[in-house]
């Protein structure tokens, strides 16, 4: 895998003049022909939502979809900015959390859009984390056979991952993201100020995706994360601007080359085979997604050492960085739950012809997808992921707590 090049990265002032640092906007373009769009990254961008939307030449009517946590914090700023620019926004507030990603909520959104008389030229703004982005994007993909939408992501995970790339969808009882579409946004506005109010646990979970980009694509970015982790955890906006921009560049590059995941895009799933299985067997109640893929990436690094010769020192650096980020890195499973975990891996969407295919690293910054792993090697990697000392039973997932556990049993 080649190191990613800088993709169309610029810094610009709002009015063209050299701005104070806080107002510099980083831009990353997602190159998808006539569906190309720009990601903008800076503090204070919600103020500019209306102005940026008016460049897109859509109709005046629009809807902001947000959730019950984000609406009280940011809907007013979004609404005012849109109104100042001459738009007529309706606000639709959905429940917070994964349960909002349901067909039931989709139907309620359709009804609200119809009440507000949104038409073909109208657009939707997704204001929130990945849940709101996936839901609002799916509503936009299907209402009137598809209308435009803009992503205004407010979690670290959404800014570096879910708002870019056009995968939208909702869950069924049978599983996550089983109904969906590819529908690219017209614009992504990452307002870094919104990250200030993000609960610590959510912030750290987002870091698991950030670290992933270093492992799969860019060794020097991984080193930068090692050097700057403390400032990142302090949410220093200057470092965050660089970090979010680099992640978006990498995702834009990958999506630009393989929009519909026929090959390369699979590398974004590093650590996700085990991570998704872990989320599924704990019924999405114990781990945040970022916590599950933190464990998943440490296990993938272990597998990488055994299958592709990832140097032991690099596997150790991977484990160490997740641990320093306050994320869980090990897993203790009894035999029954280990069986459930492996069975859940076989149910993952990435399985073909009954064989689990892994994304594995040859070096930090260089990965391969479609790697076969024998059941024996998987078993040994799971053995080595057990914590050195035994740990207490985990507390049930709490939405707004700080994780201080570095190893968590899944049963
Ligand atoms: N489409 C994709 O490519 C893609 C990629 C990765 C993940 N996802 C999806 O993203 C979802 C997870 O996203 P998430 O981690 O952002 O979760 P989330 O949207 O549930 O947000 C996490 C929590 O933080 C709250 N919140 C959001 N922004 C806040 C802010 N600025 N201040 C205070 N609270 C805030 C939310 O209300 C919620 O309670 C999952 O459904 C996952 O499937 C999609
Ligand atoms: Zn993920």
67, two tokens: 């959730």
Q: Of 183, 251, 319, 357, which residue is the catalytic one?
A: 251
pLDDT at 388 over 80: no
* Per-residue pLDDT band at 398 (split at 50, 70, 90): very low
| C-alpha 267 to ligand 2 mean position (Å) | 11
Condensed to tens digits (0 to 9), the pLDDT of residues 302-353 reads: 999 999 999 999 999 999 999 999 999 999 888 999 999 999 998 876 666 6
Name the DSSP class of 330. Answer: B
Q: Which ligand is nearest to the CA of 268?
A: 2
* Domains observed in the chain: 31-197 (3.40.50.1970), 208-384 (1.20.1090.10)
Reduced to 3 states (helix: H, G, I; strand: E, B; else coil), residue 359 is strand
pLDDT at 403 over 70: no
pLDDT at 399 over 90: no
| 147: number of Cβ within 10 Å | 23
Smallest CA separation from ligand 1 atom 27, residue: 129
Predicted local confidence at residue 38, as pLDDT: 97
Contact between 328 and 205 under an 8 Å Cβ cutoff? The reply is: no
More confident residue, 142 or 379: 142
Question: What is the percentage of the chain residues whose pLDDT exceeds 90?
Answer: 78
Contact between 45 and 190 under an 8 Å Cβ cutoff? The reply is: yes
Predicted local confidence at residue 174, as pLDDT: 81
In whole angstroms, give the CA distance from residue 43 to residue 192. Answer: 4
pTM metric for this prediction? 0.90
97, two tokens: 């959390």
Predicted local confidence at residue 365, as pLDDT: 98
Predicted local confidence at residue 350, as pLDDT: 61
Predicted local confidence at residue 347, as pLDDT: 80
Q: Of 38, 48, 167, 204, which residue is the catalytic one?
A: 167
Reduced to 3 states (helix: H, G, I; strand: E, B; else coil), residue 119 is coil
Pocket of ligand 1 (CB under 6 A): 67, 69-70, 73, 96-98, 101, 128-132, 134, 154-155, 157-158, 161-162, 165, 167, 176-177, 194, 197-198, 202, 289, 399
Condensed to tens digits (0 to 9), the pLDDT of residues 206-220 reads: 999 999 999 999 999
Return contacts of 337-343, CB within 8 angstroms, 24+ apart: 337/281, 337/410, 337/411, 338/382, 340/281, 341/274, 341/277, 341/278, 341/281, 341/382, 341/410, 342/277, 342/375, 342/378
| 254: number of Cβ within 10 Å | 22
| 72: number of Cβ within 10 Å | 10
Q: Any catalytic annotation for residue 238? A: no
Condensed to tens digits (0 to 9), the pLDDT of residues 282-302 reads: 877 789 999 999 999 999 999
| C-alpha 206 to ligand 2 mean position (Å) | 9
| Cα-based distances in Å from 395 to 282, 285, 386 | 12, 10, 18
Q: Any catalytic annotation for residue 167? A: yes
> Residue 100 contacts by C-beta under 8 Å, 6 or more apart in sequence?
67, 94, 131, 132, 135
Task: Indicate which atom in ligand 1 lies nearest the CA of residue 134.
Answer: 1
| 96: number of Cβ within 10 Å | 18
In whole angstroms, give the CA distance from residue 264 to residue 260. Answer: 10
Q: Any catalytic annotation for residue 398? A: no
Condensed to tens digits (0 to 9), the pLDDT of residues 98-151 reads: 999 999 999 999 999 999 999 999 999 999 999 999 999 999 999 999 999 999
> Residue 326 contacts by C-beta under 8 Å, 6 or more apart in sequence?
204, 233, 402, 403, 404
Q: Any catalytic annotation for residue 346? A: no
Helices (H) and strands (E) counted in the chain, each on its own, are 13, 12
Condensed to tens digits (0 to 9), the pLDDT of residues 30-80 reads: 999 999 999 999 999 999 999 999 999 999 999 999 999 999 999 999 999
* Per-residue pLDDT band at 175 (split at 50, 70, 90): confident
In whole angstroms, give the CA distance from residue 148 to residue 140. Answer: 6
Contact between 169 and 177 under an 8 Å Cβ cutoff? The reply is: yes
pLDDT at 384 over 90: no
In whole angstroms, give the CA distance from residue 197 to residue 155. Answer: 9
Contact between 104 and 43 under an 8 Å Cβ cutoff? The reply is: no
Q: Which ligand is nearest to the CA of 297?
A: 2
Smallest CA separation from ligand 1 atom 12, residue: 130
Contact between 22 and 43 under an 8 Å Cβ cutoff? The reply is: yes
Q: What is the mean pLDDT of the chain?
A: 89
| C-alpha 139 to ligand 2 mean position (Å) | 21
The pLDDT of 252-280, averaged and rounded, is: 93
Residue with tokens 């921009």: 245
Q: Of 289, 319, 332, 340, which residue is the catalytic one?
A: 289
pLDDT at 4 over 80: no
């Amino acid at each position: 895998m080649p190191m990613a090049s800088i993709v169309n990265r610029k810094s610009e002032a709002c009015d063209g003049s050299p701005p104070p640092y806080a107002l510099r906007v980083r831009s990353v373009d997602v190159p998808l022909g006539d569906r190309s769009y720009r990601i903008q990254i800076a503090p204070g961008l919600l103020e500019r939502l209306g102005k940026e939307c008016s460049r897109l030449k859509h109709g005046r009517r629009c809807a902001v979809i947000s959730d019950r946590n984000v609406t009280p914090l940011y809907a007013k700023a979004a609404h005012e900015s849109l109104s100042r620019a001459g738009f007529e926004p309706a606000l639709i507030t959905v429940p917070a959390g994964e349960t909002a990603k349901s067909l039931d909520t989709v139907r309620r959104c359709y009804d609200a859009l119809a009440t507000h008389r949104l038409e073909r030229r109208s657009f939707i703004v997704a204001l929130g984390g990945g849940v709101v982005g996936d839901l609002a994007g799916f509503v936009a993909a299907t209402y009137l056979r598809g209308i435009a939408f803009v992503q205004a992501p407010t979690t670290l995970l959404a800014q570096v991952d879910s708002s870019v790339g056009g995968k939208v969808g909702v869950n069924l009882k049978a599983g996550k993201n089983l109904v969906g579409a590819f529908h690219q946004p017209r614009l992504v506005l990452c307002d870094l100020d919104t990250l200030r109010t993000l609960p610590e646990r959510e912030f750290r979970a987002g870091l698991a995706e950030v670290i992933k980009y270093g492992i799969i694509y860019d060794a020097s970015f991984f080193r930068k994360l090692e050097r700057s982790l403390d400032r990142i955890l302090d949410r220093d906006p200057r470092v965050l601007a660089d970090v979010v921009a680099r992640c978006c560049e990498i995702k834009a590059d990958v999506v630009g080359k393989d929009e519909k995941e026929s090959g390369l895009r699979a590398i974004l799933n590093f650590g996700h085979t085990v991570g998704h299985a872990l989320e599924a067997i704990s019924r999405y109640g114990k781990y945040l997604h970022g916590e599950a893929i933190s464990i998943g990436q440490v296990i993938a690094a272990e597998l990488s050492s055994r299958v592709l010769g990832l140097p032991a020192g690099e596997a150790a650096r991977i484990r160490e960085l997740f641990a320093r980020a306050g994320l869980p890195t090990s897993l203790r499973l009894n035999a029954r739950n280990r069986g459930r975990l492996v069975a859940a891996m076989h149910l993952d969407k990435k399985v073909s012809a009954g064989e689990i295919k892994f994304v594995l690293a040859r070096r930090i910054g260089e990965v391969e997808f479609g790697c076969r792993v024998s059941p024996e090697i998987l078993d040994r990697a799971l053995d080595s992921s057990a914590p050195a000392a035994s740990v207490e039973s985990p507390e049930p997932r709490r939405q707004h707590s700080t994780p201080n556990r570095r190893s968590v049993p899944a049963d």
